[in-house]
Structure 1
Amino acid sequence: MKVLVVCSDFPYPADHGGRVDTWGRIKIMSELGWDIDLAVCGKYEPSPADLEAVKRVVSEVYLCGRSSGIVDLLSPLPLQVQSRKRLRSLQVGSGYDHVLLEGDYVYPILHNPQVSGANMVLRVHNNESAYFKSLGRSARKAVHKLYYWMESIKFAGLQKKLAQHVDKYLFISSKEYDVFKNEYPHKGSLFLPPPITRETFETSHFAAKNVVFIGSLFMPNNREAVEWYLKHVHPRLLNEEGYKLIIAGNSRGQGTQWITDYGLSRIEVHDSPKSLDDIYRSGYLFINPMRNGAGVKLKTIEAIQNGLPVVSTSVGCEGTGLVHREHIMIADQPDDFIHAVKSLLDDWAYAGKLLSQSQSYIRKHYDHKAILSGVFGSGIQEQREPLIKQVL
């Protein structure tokens, strides 16, 4: 089995949600004994060390840079796609059985003559049209809102173009899978949850009442989530003895002054930490207070694997299959969110029970290797029904 994986971002190190999903899948395919090549059209060149780490897993790595200008804004394709137009002429290998597109952004690879004849598989990380619309709601500046709105419309058109070329769809979100299946019942499609990234899950750490948020701090929907929590929840938890909020994530050089501007106490911020392990270990529970977004919020799944029970909004856990009060706590209003956090901080036994049940659910239903074997082996059409029963 020879597979070309095409990414819009270098997948290593796996330091945010999209990379966690992509890199985990690449490793699993390698473990299955498949011959994997990797093509990346990203904004940044990988470091020699990161490139060497990836080459220990894949056979070949093909790189090209993004290219965009003012004229590209006039393209009917989204700018995120048009800027990766070099994929059309990127010199890659030959004889691929499958080409795995890691998201809509790498659509231009479908027009590369060197992959002609391969089976085209699309990993759907988000409904990009809905995702960019949600970013527009979260953005503050009018020019950013206009950009996200335009991209949303263009991605809606791109979805129809993709349907003409893609043979199989792999949805990270069960919710988006259900919507697509109803709209395109003739297309091979499957719910493929994110891969389990740890051989063994961390156990609970309830020594200190540290509430943790980890996410990309440059993204407007994550910033909106943190600010909502800082405005409506955090001040009302300061009377909880021992409570502290820990915020960590990559700011891409934009800094975290917007957090400290709130002037609130008991907040610890880690800007672009090299490792998240110690931050997870220092936590009691994880919060995901997202108000807008699409797809699966991998931060929720990662937190559970790293030993933290989760309090989330409905948006923060959609598409995961996790159930309120059985696996996690779900709350959308400030009063309910505060109550959920307090109930776990004040009852470590209940917090531990939720964590244990959520980890058991992920172990059972997020078996990436078994599902991938079916997808790239017998095909989706034959395997779809039994696999769906297995994972839902």
Structure 2
Amino acid sequence: MRILLVSGIRPWDPFGGAMRTEVIARSLAGLGTVDLLVLPLDGKTEDPPPGSVYERVLTVPQRYSPLDRRRNPVRSLVEVALGTLRAQVRMTRAAVRDEAPAWLAGARYDVVWYMREHIWLMTRGLVAAPSVIDVDDLRDVLLRRWRSIGKADRGAPLTPLRRLDMSRVIARWESVHRQAARGADVLVYSSALDLGRSGYPNSVVVPNTYTAADDCAEREADAERPPTILFQGVLAYAPNADAATRLVEDIAPVVREKFPDLRVLLAGQSSPRIDALGRHPGVEVTGTVPSMTPYLKDADVLVAPLRVAGGTRIKILEAFAHRLPVVATPVGAEGLDAAAGVHLELGDTTEEIAEKCVRLLADRGAAEAMADRAHALYRSRHLPEHAAQRVRRAVERAVDG
């Protein structure tokens, strides 16, 4: 079997979406030969690292990328006329049509796996083969959550004009969902919750997974270390930046009423906004790190106070794998089938989250028991082999068509 994987991010990049793509790629490699067509937002062309599963790789950078802040009159006019998403899809599709056919010439594929719906829009029709679209999460859900907390996409102030534009973009994503459901043989979601929201019969779930660097069997207590709570990930990503700000400015001061020496670790790709949080007392901002494992082992509680999220959080699976107790919002923990009070603690308000943090920091025995149960849940449902089984079923379903 020969498979074409089409992705908007490099699978070997160190963040959650790339982790999912890499797991999908390795699962597909268990079925046959995998070629990769990657459309990166940052415009960089990189060779895959040693040991990758790809037979061939072609990079075609996305046009009108949101990471490219440069604007000229033509681009501004096109984006206003078409909307940002349509403009990005149309211009990138034109670039792909210029560069991909020669690379694809002579290759016959048994299935094409697209990572995200907008990537399918940019590349559909290039290859005549059964198709799978990995929706992963629902963009319109994310936008509605921004709007519900009075902010525009990426956390900008929600002006009347931006509210109107958000309504237009939400409607556009709803249309994209319908197009994808008609155009693909199989749709894939990361949780049963999102599958239920979609309601399309040609849908399956491939769960998010995490591969720990080691078994993480034991956590070593450090009596010299102050009580430490961690929030990790790509902190420059707007939903994470919103959560980090909430943790430092609202939640941590309440926890410090019980634990005055509280330490807050913000680990992962930073931004000026996140760097500024490091000026608060007891807050450490690491920036990008080669491995998250030392920080997961150096913390007592992971806190995920997310107000905006979609799909499922790999950061919580990381904590489960390392037996690190978790406090999260219902939005932050959704889709993982983790039970409140059993596998993690849930809270919505600042006071609820802070109270759950205090409880876990004060009762280490209860925290360790909860972390052990969460670790067992991770081992039973969120290892790469669990995703591989679902990937195989999705491919078989698409091919049987």
TM-score range, shorter chain: 0.7 to 0.9
Which ranges in structure 1 are unaligned for 5 or more consecutive residues?
A: 383-392
Q: Does 1:330 align with 2:350?
A: no
Once the two structures are TM-superposed, the CA of residue 144 in structure 1 deviates from its matched residue by: 6.3
Q: Structure 1 length as normaliser, TM-score? A: 0.85
Following superposition of structure 1 onto structure 2, how do residues 58-97 of structure 1 map, counting pairs within 5 Å? 58-68=54-64, 69-70=75-76, 71-75=78-82, 77-79=85-87, 81-82=89-90, 84-85=92-93, 86-89=95-98, 90-91=100-101, 92-93=103-104, 94-97=107-110
The answer (yes or no) to whether the contact 2:322–2:375 under 8 Å persists in 1 is no
Please list the CA deviations of residues 152-211 of structure 1 after superposition, one character each: whole Å capped at 9, or x if unmatched.
Answer: 222112112212211101110221111223xx2xx3211211123237542434424211
The DSSP-based 3-state class of the residue aligned with 1:160 is helix
Q: Which residue, 219, 231, 239 being the options, matches 1:204?
A: 219
Once the two structures are TM-superposed, the CA of residue 294 in structure 1 deviates from its matched residue by: 1.8
| 1:270 match | 286
CA 1:160–1:378 in 2, change beyond 3 Å: closer, same or farther?
A: closer
Once the two structures are TM-superposed, the CA of residue 60 in structure 1 deviates from its matched residue by: 0.7
| 2:209 match | 195
| 1:171 match | 189
1:34 is aligned with what amino acid?
G
| 2:325 match | 309
Once the two structures are TM-superposed, the CA of residue 54 in structure 1 deviates from its matched residue by: 6.3
Q: Which residue, 140, 149, 155 being the options, matches 2:156?
A: 140
Cα RMSD after superposing both structures: 2.6
| 1:348 match | 364
| 1:98 match | 111
Following superposition of structure 1 onto structure 2, how do residues 1-392 of structure 1 map, counting pairs within 5 Å? 1-13=1-13, 15-30=14-29, 32-46=30-44, 48=46, 51-53=47-49, 56-68=52-64, 69-70=75-76, 71-75=78-82, 77-79=85-87, 81-82=89-90, 84-85=92-93, 86-89=95-98, 90-91=100-101, 92-93=103-104, 94-113=107-126, 115-116=127-128, 118-136=129-147, 137-138=150-151, 139-141=155-157, 142=159, 148-181=166-199, 184=200, 187-198=201-212, 200-202=214-216, 203-207=218-222, 208=225, 209-238=227-256, 239-240=258-259, 242-251=261-270, 254=272, 256-260=274-278, 263-366=279-382, 367-377=386-396
2:242 is aligned with what amino acid?
E
The answer (yes or no) to whether the contact 1:84–1:108 under 8 Å persists in 2 is no
Distance in 2 between the 1:217 and 1:199 partners? Answer: 22
1:102 is aligned with what amino acid?
M
Q: Structure 2 length as normaliser, TM-score? A: 0.84
1:370 is aligned with what amino acid?
Q
Aligned residues: 369
CA 1:145–1:79 in 2, change beyond 3 Å: closer, same or farther?
A: farther
CA 1:95–1:300 in 2, change beyond 3 Å: closer, same or farther?
A: same
Percent of aligned positions that are identical = 18
